[in-house]
Chains A and B, each alone.
Chain A
Amino acid sequence: MRLLHPQNVEDIALGAAVLGTGGGGDPYLGKLMALQAMREHGPVPLLTLDEIGDDDLIVPSAAMGAPTVLIEKLPQGDEVLHAFRALEAYLGKPAKATMPIEAGGLNSTIPIMVAARLGLPLVDCDGMGRAFPEVQMVTHTLYGIGATPMAMADEKGNSVILNTINNRWAETFARSITVDMGATALIAVCSVTGRQLKEAAISGTTTLCETIGRTIRQAREDKRDVVEAVRQVVGGFRLFHGKVVDVQRRTETGFAKGEATLEGIAEDAGRRLVIHFQNEHLIAMVDGEMVASVPDLITALDSDSGEPVTTEGLRYGFRVVVLGIPCNEKWRTLAGLAIVGPRYFGYDIDYRPVENRFGL
């Protein structure tokens, strides 16, 4: 057990944007709420998976909806607590801790706020190891753990409990309710026992976010190459160094889809990278050849500042280094690839681990 202090939260938010792979929502708002809760309630205990009891109830907390709406209609602040309490009441058992369901983006910091305000510890793990757009895309699904019963709450005081036959249905219903709630909802989802969590979760991801964020901060202070420092700490690979020359966007089935085209510079001069995205970056192709795909992480960093660039922030003239980062092994199974592999997202492409191209 260790305590998370405000500086840790700053680092976690910065690192979470790297694991957001272009999506996941800006961690800024969650960070502000977490910092505010910490000012009022003090630091948050962070537990490793080993430190939780097998029979403890762990309830992840998160925001769901359109990141572009969330930056305009800010949460009231208590709705995630309402969702959390509603689920506890439904389960008839108090939670021993909360955790992020998604390490990348906004949802890395929301549970820190919940933990501070409810006086609960946070568990150092998540269900994605990155950001994904849909509810069922959690490692819990691979271990037969239901996303439901799931509680959703809005700022007006409404809350809803969902019970579904599988996690795909949880996504379907929750998406509709989120739209009715104003395109954002706060949720308590994928509740588990400690025993289940030790098997199903991806361990240590809050600490990983923090390490990435701290690395970026320190590399900037020391005037070192920020991108290279990040690459080392995440065990990633440089896929491309280039400048954004075109971005095409469209909305399909409620998602922001599109392609960004980058022209190579320096060592990649004369080559062309196309990133296909659906909220998050899904596929990277160099001169027509796939170099990385989901579930591996494809993340774009500003080549000078090392600042992670989101899909909505991608625009003409941005100079970025695109990193490929191996995903967690759980996603590389047949069951994992069935729910988050390239084919799920509509690309007729076989997944190939990103490191294979580099002879590993």
Chain B
Amino acid sequence: MRIGIDVGGTNTDAVLMDGATVLGAVKTPTTSDVGEGIVRALQLLRTETRFDPARVTAVMIGTTHFTNAILERQRLMPTAAIRLCLPAAERLPPMVDWPEDLRQAVGAHTFLLHGGHEFDGRVISPLDEPEIRAVARRIADRGIRAVAITSIFSPVNPSFEEEAAAIMRSEIPEANITLSHTIGRIGLLERENAAILNACLGDLARRIVRAFREALSGMDISAPFYLSQNDGTLMSAEFAEAYPVLTIASGPTNSMRGAAFLSGAAREAVVVDIGGTTSDVGMLVSGFPREASAIVKIGGVRTNFRMPDVYSFGLGGGSIVQTDPLRIGPQSVGYELTTKALVFGGRTLTTTDVAVAAGLAEIGDRNAVAALDPQLVQSVLDEIHVRIAEAVDRMKISAAPLPVIAVGGGSILINESIEGASEIITPEHFAVANAIGAAIAQVGGETDRVFALEAMSRAAALDQAKAEATQKAVAAGAEPATVHIVDVEEVPLAYLPGNATRIRVKAVGDLLQT
């Protein structure tokens, strides 16, 4: 049996699953104390299903804690940003384009040192060990323990980042070091940004992992636990302590993965996750969310690591409805739905009230909306369907109709067909799709680097990239026999001789059960 937990901004959802069967599902409000909300959800789940903690084999947790810390500029460690680059890249130092408040929150400790590689593997300048030692001592003197190391073209050759880390560790054994090539792609500033964000989340990661661990052992669950990454795969607690930034945007990913699972084997579908305030729409390709290819900003900082391609707009079950002229959202009563909506004795007309009036849901007191003009109810529902249809069309790859899977508590708003949808699937347990997505997550590995196709055939390069991705998935805990390639992308690099091509491969497999 597995337990999936999704810690969202408003609610914490938990599900108990045995293979593909959902044995129980609960929803509780998220608490400010990290462990408390999890404990409460687990207690509720236990009351509902009477599960035996000894029979739980794994717990998967998706959380918004790290995203929130960056957005709020809170709970971040002072971080030293070391770039191995000189003489290149001197005048655009680390954090050059960061919002000032976030730069201050991590302390603006930047160091430019010798190192780096050319695109073809030549050395820009050799590492300077005494220089690195001197910087390490300055970092130690300032009491800084988080370090992000970025070397030019480290995705092609990571050796300088690794050597610099070893030197750093010999001076500051307790240092929490992030190497950029383990997180990001080609694109120095964006990869460096992701590495710095990851490093500054180190303490929080350890605190959260500890809180999760204590919450689980307090419930007598001794099974290993995992955190959800934003590509729909899992990482171990130890890995999560080292790479917390990879959890960012795991929420929408879990919803989409849960939707894919609940609706059967739809390989390609659009998922509409309607929450209380916003809706997230994304495209499933081979059962995984399509990835955003462009630069993605996190807390105002440009990053280029993998993120799900999600379109969000202000429509949810708590959206406020204005009647003259008709306007739905983006304002929402949010978590106050149960006091402010008409059906709960409040005075604000919300989309949930409209759904109850139309007979789409039985929530609260139906008599409270009996007097609503049926024509108004119909025009609100029409408008909601038009807006969902627009969002669905925006995310689709072709004009061909695709199945639309509706999940999230607010999906009660959908009652008729949507233009461009071949069918609308509202699966059982739709309200906790995100926790289910966490529970069924797999383990993945990715490689992204430049190959010179002059020296090797394209097929050999692809094989090598696939082997590397597979190896990384196995190292992350996948059962070797189940690992398969889910994504291959090639980008020839302009102006380079030797037919240089960038190849990105992603492999995933089932979690190895021990």
Q: Which residues of A contact B (CB under 8 A)?
A: 23, 29, 32-33, 36, 65-69, 71-78, 133, 155-157, 175, 178-179, 182-183, 243, 245, 249-251, 254-258, 263, 265, 269, 279, 304, 312-313, 315-317, 319
Q: Which of B88, B396, B453, B495 contacts A66 (CB under 8 A)?
A: B495
Interface presence of B293 (CB below 8 A)? yes
Q: Lowest 4 CB-CB distances: which A-B pairs, in order?
A: A77-B91, A251-B492, A74-B89, A66-B495
Chain B residues with CB below 8 A from A249, complex form = 490-492
C-alpha gap A69/B91 in the complex (Å): 17
Check B119–A75 contact: CB distance below 8 A: no
Chain B residues with CB below 8 A from A175, complex form = 495
Check B186–A71 contact: CB distance below 8 A: yes
Chain A residues with CB below 8 A from B453, complex form = 251
The distance from the CB of B321 to the nearest CB of chain A, in whole angstroms, is 21
Chain A residues with CB below 8 A from B293, complex form = 313, 315
Check A155–B87 contact: CB distance below 8 A: yes
The distance from the CB of B451 to the nearest CB of chain A, in whole angstroms, is 11
Check B501–A182 contact: CB distance below 8 A: no
Interface presence of B252 (CB below 8 A)? no
Check A36–B188 contact: CB distance below 8 A: no
The verdict on A317 contacting B396 (CB below 8 Å), with A33-B92, A77-B91 known, is yes
Q: Which of A72, A78, A245 contacts B152 (CB under 8 A)?
A: A72
Within residues 340 to 364 of chain B, which ones have a CB less than 8 A from any CB in chain A? Answer: none
Within residues 15 to 49 of chain B, which ones have a CB less than 8 A from any CB in chain A? Answer: none
Check B92–A29 contact: CB distance below 8 A: yes
0/1 per residue, B486-499, Cβ < 8 Å to A?
00001111111101
Chain B residues with CB below 8 A from A317, complex form = 283, 290, 309, 395-397
- Return the chain B residue nearest A242 by Cβ: B399
Check B500–A251 contact: CB distance below 8 A: yes
The verdict on A68 contacting B493 (CB below 8 Å), with A73-B124, A182-B122, A316-B397 known, is yes
Check A74–B189 contact: CB distance below 8 A: yes
A-B contact pairs, 5 of them (CB 8 A): A71-B187, A77-B92, A78-B90, A251-B453, A317-B395
Within residues 374 to 412 of chain B, which ones have a CB less than 8 A from any CB in chain A? Answer: 394-399
- Return the chain B residue nearest A23 by Cβ: B494
Q: Which of A36, A256, A279, A304 contacts B92 (CB under 8 A)?
A: A36
Check A69–B496 contact: CB distance below 8 A: yes
The distance from the CB of B108 to the nearest CB of chain A, in whole angstroms, is 15
Q: Which of A73, A245, A255 contacts B89 (CB under 8 A)?
A: A73
Interface presence of B140 (CB below 8 A)? no
In the complex, how many residue pairs between chain A and chain B have their CB atoms under 8 Å apart?
A: 144
C-alpha gap A76/B91 in the complex (Å): 6
Check B119–A254 contact: CB distance below 8 A: no
Q: Which of A71, A76, A179, A245 contacts B90 (CB under 8 A)?
A: A76
The distance from the CB of B457 to the nearest CB of chain A, in whole angstroms, is 14
Chain B residues with CB below 8 A from A32, complex form = 92, 96-97
Check B501–A251 contact: CB distance below 8 A: yes
C-alpha gap A77/B89 in the complex (Å): 7
Interface presence of B153 (CB below 8 A)? yes
C-alpha gap A356/B499 in the complex (Å): 38
C-alpha gap A75/B395 in the complex (Å): 37
Chain A residues with CB below 8 A from B86, complex form = 76
C-alpha gap A204/B107 in the complex (Å): 43
The distance from the CB of B154 to the nearest CB of chain A, in whole angstroms, is 9
Best-surrounded residue of A32, A156, A317 (most CB of chain B within 10 A): A317
The distance from the CB of A40 to the nearest CB of chain B, in whole angstroms, is 10
Check B494–A279 contact: CB distance below 8 A: yes
C-alpha gap A312/B495 in the complex (Å): 13
The verdict on A71 contacting B495 (CB below 8 Å), with A182-B124, A245-B397 known, is no
- Return the chain B residue nearest A307 by Cβ: B294
Chain B residues with CB below 8 A from A67, complex form = 494-495
Chain B residues with CB below 8 A from A179, complex form = 495-497
- Return the chain B residue nearest A310 by Cβ: B294
- Return the chain B residue nearest A37 by Cβ: B91
Check B88–A155 contact: CB distance below 8 A: yes
Check B116–A69 contact: CB distance below 8 A: no
- Return the chain A residue nearest B154 by Cβ: A72
